[in-house]
Structure 1
Amino acid sequence: MSKNDLDMAFPNPDFVTYNIYCTPDADQCPTYNAWLKDNLPLTRQHIKQIPDDLLSNFTLNYTIPVALDSQDFRTGNTLPMNWTVDLIENYRKQVRAREAFGSYHNTDIYPALDKYASLAIINKKCAVIGTENPWIEAALLEYNASNVTTMEYATIYSSIPRLFTITPMDFARQQQNNKGRKELFDSVWSYSSIEHDGLGRYQDPLNPYGDFQTMIKITCILKPGGFLFLGVPLNIQDFLQYNLHRVYGPIRLPLLYRNFHVVEMLGMGMARVRGDAVVQRFVVLQNKIGCKSS
């Protein structure tokens, strides 16, 4: 990815500071029904090879290299079954102390929390897409979100006030049953989750376009002009480490962002070594579906 490509993908934050707010129009979801992805069967056993009839789909017509040498399959429910007040409070203490914390033991979330608190968190309805531990949820509650809803394939029970959990399948049914009154969030947060969507590692349905479809679904649950804080592996080269994760570069990344305004990347740089999935900066995106100046 050239410097010009990077400039187009991630505008200078000084330039966009006063130009990121679009004027909301009536909410409208894309006509393509991405909710149908939740009707696909779950992956109940380890699929070690991409089926031949899906290989061109997974690689976008063979333009993205694939490796099969490192795989993982999660059997059973490996997530905490119960999120308790004590668990959340421990994370909140770490946030107050500005410690590296969470599933990835880093400080990447703090610039997003500090800069966008009033716009996207304080007294706002927030959603978290995909989780292993509720570190983002705890940070949002610490920054006074009105409530937080976590969507995760595993069943999680929460006894924490203002923190709700639901599976994607149940949420899809809920949205479709309330056609006249869909639930919309002020901000959506996802870190190191969407790159796994559709690869079957977490028993999710095998789906070459799972990540794209989830992004379309987010436009439908996020208010027009609402913010998505997204962390996925960023690299100057695309790569698919099946069945672990996707690495996003100049081929797949623009397609991932296509229904959003790119506001800024919080942190500098993209990985340069082929297949390197370590760099996962929060990128701030703004939902342009339903925005007059999209």
Structure 2
Amino acid sequence: MFRLGSATRLSPSCVRFIPLFAVIFLLIISFTVFKSSGIEKYQERTNAPYVYINHRVGLAEPDLNEYSVKTHKGYISLSELNEKVYRPFGYEISKPTLPVPTLRMLNEPTCELVFSEWLRISQEPQTDIPQKEIPIRQTDQFLLNGYAALGSYYFNDKNSGWGDKPRNWDRISEIMTYSKKQIANLAYPVESESMYNAMAANRLDNLTGVVVGSMQPWVEVYALKNGAKKILTVEYNKLAIQPEFRDRLSSILPVDFVRNWEKYAGTFDFAASFSSIEHSGLGRYGDPMDPIGDLREMLKIKCMLKPRGLLFLGMPYGTDAIQFNAHRIYGSIRLAMMFYGFEWLGTYSGENSESFDLNSARLHFKGVFGLTQYTMVLRKL
């Protein structure tokens, strides 16, 4: 039998450290395997801000199977979304940027077609009260062929006595004296401040703009405070604007705006909308049911802006979903369609005046049907 001699026998103090050395060795091995596997790259692709990573040098086209975004079904590859969602809706992925893919439109409509189609749909017969369920024949169109979640959250703001109504348009002088926090409290405390922060970082000095949807003049006041010269508000309700501000503020009904679209095409330096476009086409306010009502609004805005014009866009962000008929929630899938024709410059919250990187983790951190309203700044390409 072989025995250790006294010169080679381990001391008791060394023996005590053997388990520690073993643990360290196993950790080193595990880290090496992790680095060499695809796991680290997968996390980089899903949690990094708006980036495009092509690890395969020399390939002309990236493999969309290597990129995934989060949905209510879990992580779905961009390849699957390209085939099941984007192409059926008239888009395709041009770059696998994350957390929002960059798209091209397969057959972009002219501005004339965009506005004529909106007008045609607006003239279709409507129900007496907003529908409580998505029509079965339009389910796939509304829910992106099943890749957007569906929940119920019903409102009748068409003809109910307690629906949202315009207010405070006769108090603009007073509101102009408010702090940004006081103004935000008129609408969405804290979240509304994201609009001010975005405008302050992208000044509007002597610029002309259009606001899409506005029950109260808080977005308009933010724009005026950040230097805007003139603002036109497109709103379904007639607005009684304080006389002293009618040289700088005006309003128009959507149908009149559309009928005279050529007068406004390419004339605005900026556009702004907060908690408005996500309702388009859901019928809550008596508007026609339209699965792509929000996408039409984005195309209309694109037509109205000058080249390189800015869009300040505040909506509910999270995991792609519809809480019918209240609103849409915008995740990686639908945001890509909304962003078509624009460059994403930055994202602002109400808590900080500086922009932040909206990565996948922050976009989806509240789970399905959880949402946060930020303001994104987009520039027309």
**TM-score exceeds 0.5:** yes
Unaligned runs of 5+ in 2: 1-41, 53-107, 350-355, 357-361
Q: Does 1:31 align with 2:110?
A: yes
Partner of 2:200: 114
Change (3 A) 1:187 1:242: same
Bigger Rg over Cα = 2
Structure number with higher helix proportion = 2
Alignment of 1:73-112 (within 5 A): 73-76=156-159, 78-80=164-166, 83-84=169-170, 87-95=171-179, 100-106=184-190, 107-112=193-198
Between the two proteins, the alignment pairs up a number of residues equal to 260
RMSD (Å), alpha carbons: 2.5
| Separation (CA, whole Å) in 1 of partners of 2:128 and 2:140 | 23
Q: % of aligned pairs identical?
A: 31
**Distance in 1 separating the partners of 2:164 and 2:180:** 28
Per the TM alignment, residue 144 of structure 1 is displaced from its structure 2 partner at its CA by 2.9
Structure 1 residue 103: deviation in Å?
A: 0.9
The reply on whether 1:257 has 2:343 as its aligned counterpart is no
Q: Which residue of 1 aligns with 2:221?
A: 138
Deviation of 1:91 after TM superposition, in Å, equals 2.0
1:50 paired with 2:134, answer yes
Q: SS where residue 312 of structure 2 aligns?
A: strand
Distance in 1 separating the partners of 2:119 and 2:147: 27
Distance 1:71 1:109, change over 3 A: same
Q: How does 1:208-287 map to 2 (within 5 A)?
A: 208-235=291-318, 237-267=319-349, 268=356, 269-272=362-365, 273-277=367-371, 279-287=372-380
Gaps of 5+ in 1: 12-28, 289-294
The answer to whether the aligner puts 1:123 opposite 2:216 as a matched pair is no
What TM-score, normalized to structure 1? 0.80
Alignment of 1:4 onto 2:45: yes
Tell me which amino acid in the other structure corresponds to 1:171.
F
TM-score normalised by structure 2 residue count = 0.63
User: 1:19-78: per-residue Cα shift (whole Å, max 9, x none)?
Assistant: xxxxxxxxxx8426221213323564120111111111101112212112x210113474
CA shift at 1:112, angstroms?
Answer: 1.4
C-alpha distance in 2, partners of 1:3/1:283? 23
Q: Displacement, 1:224?
A: 0.9
Question: Does 1 or 2 have the higher relative contact order (CA < 8 Å, sep 6+)?
Answer: 1
Asked if 2 retains the 8 angstrom alpha-carbon contact of 1:10 and 1:262, the reply is no
Query: Cα distance, 1:81 vs. partner?
Result: 6.5
1:258 CA displacement: 1.3
User: How far is the alpha carbon of 1:241 from its aligned partner?
Assistant: 0.4
Name the stretch that deviates more: 142-151 or 152-161: 152-161
